[in-house]
Amino acid sequence: MANTAIEAPAPGAKFSPEQAPVTTPAATKKNYVTALNEALREEMARNPPPPEPEPPPTLKTESLVDRLSGDDHPVVVSLHPEASVKGFKEFLDKGYVRVKFTDTKGGTELGLKLDKDASDFSQADFNEGTGQARMVGSSSLDYTRVRCIANIDLKTLAGLGHLEKIDEAVS
């Protein structure tokens, strides 16, 4: 075939494949994408998407230290492998006791270094396993130094306790 210009047929006229304009696959894809984008823009103009919903308000949750620093909460003396008044007394004599706050998710266990001067064991009869022991000890929770004050019934080795912040951060 000689190098001749192909004229476009008149509208509605039939032409042979030899007369059809030459298009490459890339040109065909570009035309398809352009037509698709135009159709999408027209559809978006007719039916705009709904506005995005507002995000739910963020709930300010208080820290675990703040929660346990409020009112008294249920606590148990955490003794392993077995809880007993004798074991409790041995830990008190060593100056270190573990206390578990039971009303938090999974429980919150703290190891307390006892402050024997602030604690009161005068109402506790360790030989009979009766009475109340008031324990005061320090620990850290979530990088905050705290003092724990717990009143423990020797019959159940459970009672009520709360935290007090000593200072804001642990170095």
* The domain defined by 64-167 carries CATH number 3.65.10.10: no
pLDDT of residue 70: 82
**Residue found under tokens 């398809």:** 32
pLDDT of residue 94: 94
pLDDT of residue 121: 95
Burial 153-162 (b: 16+ CB within 10 A, else e): bbeebbbebb
Predicted confidence band of residue 25 (pLDDT cuts 50, 70, 90)? low
Mean pLDDT confidence for 110-130: 95
In this structure, the strands spanning 96-101 and 73-77 are: antiparallel
Here the tokens at position 54 are 């507002």
Task: Please list, in sequence order, all residues whose beta carbon lies within 8 angstroms of the beta carbon of residue 141, skipping any fewer than 6 positions away.
Answer: 64, 65, 68, 108, 110, 163
Average pLDDT, the chain: 85
Task: Please list, in sequence order, all residues whose beta carbon lies within 8 angstroms of the beta carbon of residue 1, skipping any fewer than 6 positions away.
Answer: 18
d(CA 157, CA 171): 33
Nearest residue to 76 (alpha-carbon basis) of 170, 161, 166, 158: 158
> Does residue 87 register a pLDDT over 80?
yes
Predicted confidence band of residue 15 (pLDDT cuts 50, 70, 90)? low
What is the percentage of the chain residues whose pLDDT exceeds 90? 56
